A and B are shown apart, each in its own frame.
Chain A
Amino acid sequence: MTDITEIIGQARAGDLAASEHLFTTLYDELRRMAAGQLRGDERMRATSLVHEVYLKLAHHGAVEINDRGHFFAVASRVMRQIVIDHVRARGRLRRGGDLQFSPLDTTAMQAATQERDEDVLALDAALSRLGQVDAPLAALVEMRFYAGLELAEIALVQDRSERSLKRDWRRARAFLQREIATE
């Protein structure tokens, strides 16, 4: 595996191929880890996935702090993609397949899942609209919601105050809530 630091550096410098490479590497890793959740370890959360992949890829040494911010941003976007792919796949499945992945599926559970999945897709659409008007805010949502990172942690890698991030988060949440409600 190429040194991840190098790739992040290139990606940050605008190298599209490096960006692409970083994204797919992270996608494979994170999806594999997320799939690992299906294998039963129920204690792991989204946060630990992102952390784990970070530790795994950066095993040659510390990644520079700026690069780390970029890394988490990309990893969070990847998580968003994985979640959406998962939910969409399940939607296709609901329409066509007859086999369920969860350990126990009942009609009631399926209905609940379906409802939640629709919420997740609506949120994704709203988030895309937010990204058009305020990309950094959308990235924050990705990190907080999809990757499960704490605001304090994001503050650290983005070199911002936690207070201002809290304000950003509240605003983003209001924007998304309004978008979903007026859908």
Chain B
Amino acid sequence: MATPGERWSEVAALFDECVELAPDEQARRLADLERVDAALAAEVRSLLAADVDADSLLDAGVAAAVPDMLTRTTDPGPRDGLAGPYRLLRLLGEGGMGVVWLAERTDGAYEQQVAVKLLKLGMDTQAILRRFLQERRILARLHHPHIVRLMDGGMSSDGRPYYVMEFVDGLPITEHAARHGLAVRARVELLAQVAEAVAYAHTQLIVHRDLKPSNVFVNRSGEPRVLDFGIAKLLEESADQTQTGTGLRVLSPAYAAPEQILGEAIGTATDVYALALMLCELLVGELPLRRRAVTPAQLAQEVTHETVERASTLASRLPPERAGLLYGAATDTRRLAHQISGDLDLIIATALQRDPARRYATAAAFADDLRRWLTQRPITARADAASYRLLKFIRRHRVGVAASALIVASLVAGLGTALWQARRAQVAAETALRAEEKALQQAEIATAVSDFLTRDVIQAANPYRGKLDIRLTDALIKAAPRIDERFAGKPRLAGVVRRELADSLFLAGELAASQSNAEQALATLEGAFGGADPDVIASRTSLTRVLHRMDRYVDAKLVAQKGLDALGPDAPPRLRLPLQVAMAGLEMEDREETKAVEDLDRLIPQVVAEFGAIEPVHIDVLDHKMRSLMGLERYDDALAIVRELRSGTEKKFGVGDPRTLEWIKREAIILTQLERYDEALVIAQQACDATRATLGENHYATHDCNMRLAIVQFEKKQFGAAVALMEPVAAFRERTYGKDAEGTWLASIWLARAYQRTDQVPRARELFERVYASAIRLNGETDNKTLPFGQTLGMFLEQTGNHVDAEKLRRKLLSQSKASLPAGHISIAKYAWDLGETLASEKRDTETVAFLEEWMPQWDHHFPIKDSRRVDAHQWLADARQRLAATTRH
């Protein structure tokens, strides 16, 4: 018996012989063989049959069999070689769903060569088709010199959609840089241009999501073009439209940001991450992180734990021959490393933070820092590092930090950057100052502010040194007096820091402290730099805002007008606009809402052009307009503005950010106003979900949100649900803020109201009384801030039929309000109305008539004509008079 090897040699020889023969000769040869060795013949036959059948798998090579691993399959293109009026010349590339051809017009309409992207054969499922058309729609929306231009589109003869783009004749950015041996500066410049193109796409609400060198080409004139928006995402789409909902999942493992790999929310910061990777590769020829994972699980694991190498470290390790390939022969890697270390390292590291919130928020900010590096100005990433330390502190001590703290924290965190912005405006105005001097001044400010934040504010709030739950707001207030000492002899610094502090305090609701700091800032700056200085003007804006909120309209106008006068009519809009916005906003307080809306509408486009959308001034101007519209009872228009603000802030700061939640809250309020409770409920629910997802169940903001939701439920008379939501909120606030805190009282009151309507009257009463007692304890019995809590209790007593107690309390409140408020104040009228209600319900008609007649002029004065209080009061009086008349008659 022959071994398999020997047997095979025999078979092989026979196969080789037979396969060359003509069919009839082959048949004869096999028939002969069959007579000698049937098994052998059968085996040769089977091989010959297989030879005929042999499919292309083997000939095509492994590249075709495992296309995703090596190279892509090819698509022959339409049989006529045409896509509409374009002749397809040569395949340029293939992607997941499309093939790109070099093409030219058949009709000679123009000579330029173009790139035609054709939907791949067999890819015409609904989902793919949608995405393909989506890319076309996205490109149509983008007009930027560094984004590939969409030119045309249509359907090929074999029924595949295609679209036509500008053909970028060049190389991927990394290859271009190596081919031309570009210097570090030229590379950074190139990437800054790319980042600006991406930033532009962001302003069009488009995130690219697949930025990598092979998607950024540089043409022969050295200009970059961003290509392939094939998996780009429109930010307005809801997540499920683009992600798992259609079964599409996007990933280029080496360039994907962690949130892409882990399936977390994707935003503009995702592109920032990819840009930074590209920058690193451009500078040192490799990525700062090595992903070796083969499976997604490994990849996810790797991403969670990966460490990013510094670009300069990679540069210092470059073997000479690789450095030569990158930058040209005789490149000194030590010099290269030195050039990259410091600011470029920091810019890359900032953009590669694992947490998207810690990266540059937008590609524009990233591009800005690259530009700063190019012009040798200090980068913002340095200032951010200081504010980041503060944020980290806040996160660590989240539970102990009170309600407004996070708002303040996010603002203070922005303080460093805000300073840079202020500085930039100023720099533009002060062209006389020499560049080095400016840079020096900026660096000085960065250090000073960072010191102030870390030493004075953070250490003041440090629970290990002081009491445990010091509020950050308190820390800021406490740190304020130290400004003069720390910035002695530096009026610019002292003034700017104080103004930022005033702004932060304003947003934390600490109006008095904010006002005094704004005034001091103004005095310091104006004393040193005169009335038209940009920082003085900015301080006036801050002060006007506080005074406006404090209802001191006349003072507010004075402050703003003085600024406008000092500037004169020819001042740059950047300086004038904020004050003009403030003035227009004040008009509505004079019941000039219509004019206010007109003025604001005129200002809005200027503001956007000057400062950009969803920047503080833009938010201000929209806020004013919304309030004016509310004053005009144009709730639907107000709603439109709030929605604009909400989606804008949502994109900019994220859903869970306090600055976004503010507008979600307003939207819910307006919807409640419009009695569109169902929609209000949806919005409120949405806000809660978002907050809980970002901050967790037991975060103050989550509880705030739940409370708003409960209030809407209350309006919808879902009292049981409101109780269930409010109980944890009230408990949380009591635990965190303490018993004697306004936040705790408000939560308790809503809970009590819900108790009252779910047949838990005793519990409700106990809560109402507890809150009132607590308010008395904290602020004194006759204080304005105490009276409303008494009023709430009075309302409860009245509504639950406890007229005697209600009367006693309401009398007391009326006399106390008369004592503590100026005569004729609307609040006194309200307390009087409460007592009137009780008297009317007790049917002590003579007394009631006398009381109502005494107060009616006040109510007519303060309450609008159709206000239910005014209507009710007239009704009580009419009823009482009628009853009196009836008694007299009998």
Question: Count of B residues near A, CB < 8 Å?
Answer: 68
- Does B237 interact with chain A (Cβ within 8 Å)? no
Interface residues in B114-141 by Cβ distance below 8 A to A read 122-123, 125, 127-128, 131
Q: A42-B93, A46-B63, A97-B297 are in contact. Are A104 and B231 (CB under 8 A)?
A: yes
- Does B618 interact with chain A (Cβ within 8 Å)? no
Assess whether A100 is in contact with B212, with CB atoms less than 8 Å apart. no
Assess whether B15 is in contact with A89, with CB atoms less than 8 Å apart. no
Complex-state Cα separation, A141 to B4, whole angstroms: 20
When distances are taken between beta carbons in the complex, the residues of chain A under 8 Å from B72 are 42
- Does A160 interact with chain B (Cβ within 8 Å)? no
Assess whether B214 is in contact with A45, with CB atoms less than 8 Å apart. no
Q: When the two chains form the complex, which single residue of A44, A85, A119 contacts B70, counting CB atoms closer than 8 Å?
A: A44
Q: A45-B71, A117-B66 are in contact. Are A39 and B254 (CB under 8 A)?
A: yes
Assess whether A103 is in contact with B71, with CB atoms less than 8 Å apart. no
**Distance to closest chain A CB from B759 (angstroms):** 49
- Does B463 interact with chain A (Cβ within 8 Å)? no
Most buried by A among B51, B70, B71, B212: B70
Q: A103-B96, A108-B125, A178-B50 are in contact. Are A46 and B295 (CB under 8 A)?
A: no
Interface residues in B250-304 by Cβ distance below 8 A to A read 250-255, 261, 263, 292, 294-297, 299-300
Complex-state Cα separation, A123 to B72, whole angstroms: 20
**Distance to closest chain A CB from B373 (angstroms):** 26
- Does B249 interact with chain A (Cβ within 8 Å)? yes
Complex-state Cα separation, A34 to B254, whole angstroms: 13
**Distance to closest chain A CB from B197 (angstroms):** 18
Interface residues in A22-44 by Cβ distance below 8 A to B read 34-35, 37-44
Interface of chain A, main secondary structure: helix
Complex-state Cα separation, A38 to B94, whole angstroms: 13
Tell me which of B54-62, B176-184, B732-740 binds A. B54-62
When distances are taken between beta carbons in the complex, the residues of chain A under 8 Å from B69 are 34, 37-38, 83, 86
- Does B761 interact with chain A (Cβ within 8 Å)? no
Complex-state Cα separation, A84 to B559, whole angstroms: 76
- Does B49 interact with chain A (Cβ within 8 Å)? yes
Assess whether B50 is in contact with A148, with CB atoms less than 8 Å apart. no
Closest A residue by C-beta to B49: A178
When distances are taken between beta carbons in the complex, the residues of chain B under 8 Å from A145 are 58, 61-62
**Distance to closest chain A CB from B291 (angstroms):** 8
Assess whether A174 is in contact with B65, with CB atoms less than 8 Å apart. no
Complex-state Cα separation, A26 to B95, whole angstroms: 29
Assess whether B68 is in contact with A102, with CB atoms less than 8 Å apart. yes
Q: When the two chains form the complex, which single residue of A103, A119, A132 contacts B251, counting CB atoms closer than 8 Å?
A: A103
Assess whether B66 is in contact with A116, with CB atoms less than 8 Å apart. yes
**Distance to closest chain B CB from A168 (angstroms):** 9
**Distance to closest chain B CB from A25 (angstroms):** 16
Assess whether B58 is in contact with A100, with CB atoms less than 8 Å apart. no
Interface 1/0s, chain A 164-176, versus B by CB < 8 A?
0001001101111
Give the interface size bracket for A toward B. 35 or more
Assess whether B212 is in contact with A39, with CB atoms less than 8 Å apart. yes
Complex-state Cα separation, A105 to B15, whole angstroms: 43
Q: A39-B254, A174-B48 are in contact. Are A108 and B122 (CB under 8 A)?
A: yes
Q: When the two chains form the complex, which single residue of B66, B95, B214 contacts A39, counting CB atoms closer than 8 Å?
A: B214
Assess whether B12 is in contact with A134, with CB atoms less than 8 Å apart. yes
Interface residues in B539-570 by Cβ distance below 8 A to A read none
- Does B8 interact with chain A (Cβ within 8 Å)? yes
Assess whether B214 is in contact with A100, with CB atoms less than 8 Å apart. no
Complex-state Cα separation, A178 to B11, whole angstroms: 14
Interface 1/0s, chain B 752-772, versus A by CB < 8 A?
000000000000000000000
Assess whether B50 is in contact with A133, with CB atoms less than 8 Å apart. no
Most buried by A among B48, B59, B69, B97: B69
**Distance to closest chain B CB from A141 (angstroms):** 8
Q: When the two chains form the complex, which single residue of B48, B254, B263, B295 contacts A93, counting CB atoms closer than 8 Å?
A: B295
Q: A170-B19, A178-B47 are in contact. Are A105 and B296 (CB under 8 A)?
A: no
Assess whether B57 is in contact with A85, with CB atoms less than 8 Å apart. no
Complex-state Cα separation, A180 to B247, whole angstroms: 33
- Does A107 interact with chain B (Cβ within 8 Å)? yes
Complex-state Cα separation, A108 to B297, whole angstroms: 23
Closest B residue by C-beta to A122: B57
- Does B215 interact with chain A (Cβ within 8 Å)? yes
Complex-state Cα separation, A107 to B67, whole angstroms: 17
Assess whether A87 is in contact with B47, with CB atoms less than 8 Å apart. no
Assess whether B294 is in contact with A86, with CB atoms less than 8 Å apart. yes
Assess whether B16 is in contact with A174, with CB atoms less than 8 Å apart. no
Assess whether A181 is in contact with B294, with CB atoms less than 8 Å apart. no
Closest A residue by C-beta to B96: A104
Q: When the two chains form the complex, which single residue of A43, A87, A98, A134 contacts B66, counting CB atoms closer than 8 Å?
A: A87
When distances are taken between beta carbons in the complex, the residues of chain B under 8 Å from A43 are 71, 93
- Does B210 interact with chain A (Cβ within 8 Å)? yes
Complex-state Cα separation, A98 to B231, whole angstroms: 19
When distances are taken between beta carbons in the complex, the residues of chain B under 8 Å from A100 are 249, 251, 296
Assess whether B251 is in contact with A99, with CB atoms less than 8 Å apart. yes
Interface 1/0s, chain A 112-149, versus B by CB < 8 A?
11001101100100000000111000000100111010
- Does B422 interact with chain A (Cβ within 8 Å)? no
Complex-state Cα separation, A119 to B255, whole angstroms: 31
Closest A residue by C-beta to B294: A89
Assess whether B71 is in contact with A42, with CB atoms less than 8 Å apart. yes
Assess whether B54 is in contact with A174, with CB atoms less than 8 Å apart. yes
Q: A134-B8, A145-B62, A174-B48 are in contact. Are A167 and B93 (CB under 8 A)?
A: no
Assess whether A97 is in contact with B296, with CB atoms less than 8 Å apart. yes
When distances are taken between beta carbons in the complex, the residues of chain A under 8 Å from B215 are 40
**Distance to closest chain A CB from B49 (angstroms):** 7
Closest A residue by C-beta to B254: A39
**Distance to closest chain B CB from A153 (angstroms):** 13
- Does B37 interact with chain A (Cβ within 8 Å)? no
- Does B5 interact with chain A (Cβ within 8 Å)? yes
**Distance to closest chain B CB from A149 (angstroms):** 10
Assess whether B66 is in contact with A86, with CB atoms less than 8 Å apart. yes
Assess whether A177 is in contact with B51, with CB atoms less than 8 Å apart. yes
- Does A2 interact with chain B (Cβ within 8 Å)? no
Complex-state Cα separation, A173 to B300, whole angstroms: 40
Assess whether A171 is in contact with B55, with CB atoms less than 8 Å apart. no
- Does B46 interact with chain A (Cβ within 8 Å)? yes
Q: When the two chains form the complex, which single residue of B12, B248, B254, B255 contacts A104, counting CB atoms closer than 8 Å?
A: B248
Interface residues in B212-229 by Cβ distance below 8 A to A read 212-215
Most buried by A among B4, B54, B122, B125: B54
When distances are taken between beta carbons in the complex, the residues of chain A under 8 Å from B55 are 177
- Does B53 interact with chain A (Cβ within 8 Å)? yes
Q: A104-B231, A176-B58 are in contact. Are A133 and B47 (CB under 8 A)?
A: no
Assess whether B57 is in contact with A132, with CB atoms less than 8 Å apart. no
When distances are taken between beta carbons in the complex, the residues of chain B under 8 Å from A45 are 61, 63, 70-71
Interface 1/0s, chain B 85-120, versus A by CB < 8 A?
000000001111100000000000000000000000
**8 extra A-B contacts, CB within 8 A, seeds A93-B295, A104-B128:** A40-B252, A46-B70, A46-B71, A100-B249, A103-B231, A113-B68, A171-B16, A181-B50
19 A-B residue pairs with CB within 8 Å: A37-B69, A41-B172, A49-B70, A86-B66, A96-B297, A99-B300, A100-B251, A101-B68, A104-B95, A104-B131, A109-B123, A132-B4, A141-B58, A145-B61, A145-B62, A171-B12, A175-B50, A178-B46, A178-B47
Cβ-closest 9 pairs across A and B? A99-B296, A104-B96, A40-B214, A178-B50, A177-B50, A174-B51, A103-B96, A133-B8, A174-B47
